[in-house]
Amino acid sequence: MTNAPTATTGPTAPTDLQGAFHVYDTTLRDGAQQEGLNLSVGDKLAIARLIDELGVGYVEGGWPGANPKDTEFFRRARTELQLHHARLAAFGSTRRPGAVAADDPLVAALRDSGAGTVCLVAKSHDRHVELALRTTLAENLAMVRDTVAHLHGEGLEVFVDAEHFFDGFRRDRAYALEVVAAALDAGAGLVALCDTNGGMLPHQVGETVADVVAATGGRVGIHAHNDTGCAVANSVAAVQAGATHVQGCLNGYGERTGNADLVAVVAALELKLGRPVLPAGRLGEATRIAHAVAEVTNVPPASRQPYVGTSAFAHKAGLHASAIKVDPDLYQHMDPAGVGNDMRLLVSDMAGRASIELKGRELGFDLSVDSTEGKELVGRVTERVKVLESRGYTFEAADASFELMLVEEVAGARPAYVDVESWRVITESRAGGEAVSEATVKLHAGGARIVVTGEGNGPVNALDQALRTAIGRAYPEVEKFRLIDYKVRILDQGHGTDAVTRVLIETSDGESSWVTVGVGANVVEASWEALLDGFTFGLHRRGVLRPGS
């Protein structure tokens, strides 16, 4: 059965960009080989749509026939996947030794997948042929020819992933080149040279790619793993040496240490080498798409990920901030907007006055140091941050606590919606039962004295319940607030249970979230401080006024 590309699996004719250069995404195949990453069919469809938004030429959906999930993905893709930029590719291997491609069930699964493009993994390393395939070098070449020719004859676009190419090339250059030539002669549109074990360095990749291009005259691609931390550099070196097809994964997912991070490769090509490889404007969506894909995979995005990480353009050191105040380019390799990211200023004990001034501006405060008053204010905040950080507070992770402090310094008083009279928590465990905590909060708000008791599965949960109910009597807005993350860190490594603890609490109102910090020798006390600030900041941000103020 012949399956020409359908309207649901990408454009029927390659765009100019696809013809001249391919960006080929393998997140759904090699990316899914990452430890801990487990995608449902629905996840795969959602990720395919997101990657298509980036404007890549190809989305490799998986290996039909290898497992029911991937087979199902290709079945559903026929009707449920409308790709606007990319073609859908199916991955699989050459036929088994001694078989006939047309009769091989795994080849049939590729043929019948509905994808217009097939990417075949083929051995190109003599030892792998002999030890892993347990066949002869000649039979491996026949497997490549037969499988490519069969699928090409069925009207499919065929690519070949030459597995272990770089290692094989170093051992037996002639045989590795024979495999490439066999694939191209049989009708493969290109051969992607794979650094399967990820052990290569950029100069080795560059030299090999240039040699293969010169020796075969054929179209060559690159598939690089990151075991030396060089996958992106290796991919770029390959392109500079003549590769016109680059494979990689969103967020650098992949087997072991991962694949080349596709966004970093594309950014290097477009922004550093001036070579457009995606449709215009698409790279500016990269941060949003990379983060959205991470939401689906449920793998927390790495904050230090180049280009798209939340820390990629975050500045902490005072010296950096003082130069950035004059011109952001002084401490940034590019404008973050080019990849849809933002510059961020972090406030910490490494901050100088410029950091505070810029952070204040980011939060909407005019902290101009032109006047004596402004200079004094910024100096005061800088000093206070340093003193509090030396006691264990951290403001780079707790913007909301920093903003409350800033309001206090600017307006002369910290926002406060309630007057706390007292709070207490007890935790009780009865024989045979689970420990339960009970908190009592007494406070004054809206002209009334409010006393509330709350129960929870732990002291912080009980305090949260009691405080929420008590504040809620005067300010119904807090009904929407939810504690969504709670982190405790012991600060004095040398101490035991009497160590100073730092608590970070993230609160959400369903639309956005904010983080507050508390510090104390008592973990419940530190939690109380962060909890109360969480409610206070939420009300302050919503513009709620304290009655009578």
Ligand X SMILES: CC(=O)SCCNC(=O)CCNC(=O)[C@H](O)C(C)(C)COP(=O)(O)OP(=O)(O)OC[C@H]1O[C@@H](n2cnc3c(N)ncnc32)[C@H](O)[C@@H]1OP(=O)(O)O
The residue ranges that bind ligand CC(=O)C(=O)O (CB under 6 A) are: 30, 121, 161, 163, 194, 196, 223, 225
Alpha helices in 393-522 (DSSP H): 399-411, 459-474
**CA dihedral sign, ordered 426, 430, 435, 437:** negative
Q: Least distance (Å) from ligand CC(=O)C(=O)O to the CB of residue 120?
A: 9
Q: Least distance (Å) from ligand CC(=O)C(=O)O to the CB of residue 33?
A: 8
Instruction: Note whether 123 binds ligand X by CB under 6 A.
Output: yes
Q: Least distance (Å) from ligand CC(=O)C(=O)O to the CB of residue 294?
A: 21
**C-beta separation of 503 from 523 below 8 A:** yes
Structure tokens at 303: 């904050």
223 binds, among ligand X, ligand CC(=O)C(=O)O, none (CB under 5 to 8 A by kind): ligand CC(=O)C(=O)O
Q: Which residues pair with 58 in a beta bridge?
A: 24, 87
Q: Least distance (Å) from ligand X to the CB of residue 101?
A: 10
Q: Looking at this protein, which amino acid is placed at residue 340?
A: G
Work out the burial of residue 372: count CB atoms within 10 Å of its CB; fewer than 13 is exposed, 13-18 middle, 19 or more buried: exposed
Q: Least distance (Å) from ligand CC(=O)C(=O)O to the CB of residue 408?
A: 56
Query: Is the Cβ of residue 22 or residue 540 nearer to ligand CC(=O)C(=O)O in the bound state?
Result: 22
**C-beta separation of 141 from 102 below 8 A:** no
124 binds, among ligand CC(=O)C(=O)O, ligand X, none (CB under 5 to 8 A by kind): none
**C-beta separation of 59 from 23 below 8 A:** no
Write out the E strands in 244-392.
245-248, 314-315, 344-345
Q: Least distance (Å) from ligand X to the CB of residue 29?
A: 7
Number of residues assigned to the chain: 549
Sole window of 116-124, 342-350, 408-416, 421-429 interacting with ligand X (rule: CB under 6 A): 116-124
Q: Least distance (Å) from ligand CC(=O)C(=O)O to the CB of residue 257?
A: 12
At residue 238, what are phi and psi to the nearest 5 degrees? -65, -40
Instruction: Note whether 32 binds ligand X by CB under 6 A.
Output: no
Query: Is the Cβ of residue 208 or residue 348 nearer to ligand CC(=O)C(=O)O in the bound state?
Result: 208
Query: Is the Cβ of residue 9 or residue 196 nearer to ligand CC(=O)C(=O)O in the bound state?
Result: 196
User: How many residues interact with ligand X (rule CB under 6 A)?
Assistant: 15
- Distance from C-alpha of 13 to C-alpha of 152, rounded to nearest angstrom: 16
Paired sense of beta strands 117-123 and 419-428, if any: unpaired
Q: Least distance (Å) from ligand X to the CB of residue 123?
A: 5
Instruction: Note whether 96 binds ligand X by CB under 6 A.
Output: yes
Instruction: Note whether 66 binds ligand X by CB under 6 A.
Output: yes
**C-beta separation of 4 from 110 below 8 A:** no
- The radius of gyration of the chain's CA atoms, rounded to the nearest angstrom, is 29
- Taking residues 149 to 178 in sequence order and writing x for each that binds ligand X by CB under 6 A, - otherwise, the string is --------------x---------------
Helix (H, G, I), strand (E, B) or coil at 53: helix
Instruction: Note whether 67 binds ligand X by CB under 6 A.
Output: yes
Sole window of 118-126, 233-241, 341-349, 501-509 interacting with ligand X (rule: CB under 6 A): 118-126
Query: Is the Cβ of residue 115 or residue 378 nearer to ligand CC(=O)C(=O)O in the bound state?
Result: 115
Structure tokens at 498: 């009497």
305 binds, among ligand X, ligand CC(=O)C(=O)O, none (CB under 5 to 8 A by kind): none
Structure tokens at 508: 């959400």
Instruction: Note whether 27 binds ligand X by CB under 6 A.
Output: no
At residue 520, what are phi and psi to the nearest 5 degrees? -175, 165
Structure tokens at 435: 């420990």
Of 133, 137, 369, 436, the one binding ligand X (CB under 6 A) is 133
Q: Least distance (Å) from ligand X to the CB of residue 233?
A: 20
Query: Which one-letter DSSP state was computed for residue 114?
Result: -
Query: Which one-letter DSSP state was computed for residue 414?
Result: -
Sole window of 39-47, 63-71, 409-417, 430-438 interacting with ligand X (rule: CB under 6 A): 63-71
**CA dihedral sign, ordered 382, 383, 388, 392:** positive
Q: Least distance (Å) from ligand X to the CB of residue 217?
A: 24
Q: Taking each helix axis from N to C terminus, what angle separates 399-411 and 372-390, rounded to the nearest 10 degrees?
A: 140
Structure tokens at 311: 């820390």
Q: CB count, 10 Å around CB of 178?
A: 18
Helix (H, G, I), strand (E, B) or coil at 247: strand
Instruction: Note whether 121 binds ligand X by CB under 6 A.
Output: yes
- Taking residues 135 to 154 in sequence order and writing x for each that binds ligand X by CB under 6 A, - otherwise, the string is --------x-----------
Contact residues toward ligand X (CB under 6 A) are: 63, 66-67, 93-94, 96, 121-123, 132-133, 143, 163, 196, 255
